[in-house]
Amino acid sequence: MIPNKATYRTTPQKKALLSLLRSTKAHPTAAWLFDRLRLEMPDVSQGTVYRNLSVLAEEGVIRVLRNGSAQDRFDADVSEHYHVICESCGKVEDISVNVRTDANSEAERASGYEIHSHRLDFYGVCPDCQRRAAVGDDAE
């Protein structure tokens, strides 16, 4: 949680973190971002990375993909879109399936909730892992 509602500031660390996240489509984890960021800013700390990710999310500039007891992932693309997750290698990619624009209102009717958003994830095996499985058919 962020200390309080406040006027956020622009700092070198925050800028670098955001542009780093914007530079990839790989939906990286905090650890990955931290490692990368350290290359350009050897003194950044984990705390800073996590705090800024929270701030950026609160500002609505990035999106947090919470993924269970596994690590969270972050996405600089805040437009409405869905994800495919490879059950074999853990990769997360964008997927372009038709967004049902009426999904939220249908859900509202069905539940009585005031719906703000929804999240749709597909789980499967990515092309790379399919190939890998077909060749080295040793596992199992």
Partner DNA sequence: TTAATTGCAAACGGTTTGCCACGTT
Partner DNA sequence: AACGTGGCAAACCGTTTGCAATTAA
Q: Which residues bind a copy of itself (CB under 8 A)?
A: 64, 66-70, 72, 84, 86-87, 93, 95-98, 100, 103-104, 106-108, 110-127, 130
Q: Which does 99 bind (CB under 5 to 8 A by kind): a copy of itself, DNA, none?
A: none
Does residue 71 contact residue 29 with C-beta atoms inside 8 Å?
Answer: yes
Q: What are the distances in angstroms from CA 124 to CA 24, 129, 139?
A: 22, 10, 18
Partnered with residue 94 across adjacent β-strands are 83
Q: Tell me which of 30, 84, 115, 129 binds DNA, using CB under 7 A.
A: 30
- State the minimum distance, in angstroms, from the CB of residue 42 to a copy of itself: 27
Q: Tell me which of 19, 23, 45, 130 binds DNA, using CB under 7 A.
A: 45
Q: Which residues contact 94 (CB under 8 A, 6 or more apart)?
A: 25, 77, 81, 82, 83, 84
Question: Helices 12-22 & 46-59, crossing angle to 10 degrees?
Answer: 70
Q: How far apart are CA 11 and CA 16, in angstroms?
A: 9
- State the minimum distance, in angstroms, from the CB of residue 131 to a copy of itself: 11
Q: Which does 41 bind (CB under 5 to 8 A by kind): DNA, a copy of itself, none?
A: DNA
Q: What are the distances in angstroms from CA 102 to CA 41, 89, 110, 112, 121?
A: 45, 33, 12, 15, 18
Of 19-27, 45-53, 120-128, 130-138, which part binds DNA (CB under 7 A)?
Answer: 45-53
Q: Tell me which of 22, 23, 25, 31 binds DNA, using CB under 7 A.
A: 31
In the complex, the residues that contact DNA under the rule CB under 7 A are 1, 3-4, 6-14, 29-31, 41, 43-48, 50-52, 54-55, 69-72
